[in-house]
Structure 1
């Protein structure tokens, strides 16, 4: 297996996504283990983290996987799971963290997110390591890092009209759309479209 980097700007996309999977698992646990205002804050953080991660995968990683011979049905299955997760997340936001049905619905959501991550790691990431050049994987990681950079850590009402300040305004599906659009714009600007 080709070597893949672990630090700084030479981190490849697989390492970066694996680290994000760990962050997502931790964020899921933190939502489950909290209550009240703390649970809402942690849920908002999870929405941001998932929006960055899934949007980057949708716009950067899955197209690269297709270019490198990952079976179309594997990528399509992951995209379908991601779409289902976005809608489940929107439903969770709609009912609210204090609703009696939140705990059960969130547990089911969290289990699906973890299963999805494990499928990606097994079916898609290994192919990228063996099929994509190191240079391409590092370049892909830079685009994913851009997605992280444009998403603020949490919504800050009244901060102003900057793109970054407004990325988290609105329901979870809007967050995904805004980050995905920012990634597309960045890819076009850098010639990676």
Structure 2
């Protein structure tokens, strides 16, 4: 269970919930946030995250969008209902505008693409509401964002090339060429 810690300098509660199904990333980010003064609690599933929020809502949260048992936005929504002043950010390897808008509507304060480093996460968590966090040093290229989106739609279509091409409104052979290439940097 999370213990309520107060940051002596700001008087702010420094409890943080991190929800991600990538265990090595979860462990690294948890340690990095502890070294920055947060009292960290971790969860690997939506169910664990929602349960932790119900028991003791944290002041901060970092939640992966896609988890094995569902959508991380369910955790964001539960946190926003339990503690409206909490600052939550969403991490995802499949960024798109619709999910970013939805995350913000449900109470997230920022939306970061994976792989996000601890500095980017920290800056997004503690940024003043009126001041935007500085842009990342190495953001994904437009080609990479396009490739990620195509991969996501391909996976959601059950790896069916014809259906994916239809939904993306592109020629099937063009899609096959894109899928055969490596991910751009």
What TM-score do the two structures reach when normalised by structure 1?
0.27
Task: Please identify the structure whose Cα radius of gyration is greater.
Answer: 2
Q: Which has the higher contact order (CA 8 A, sep 6+)?
A: 1
Given the two structures, how large is their TM-score scaled by the length of structure 2? 0.28
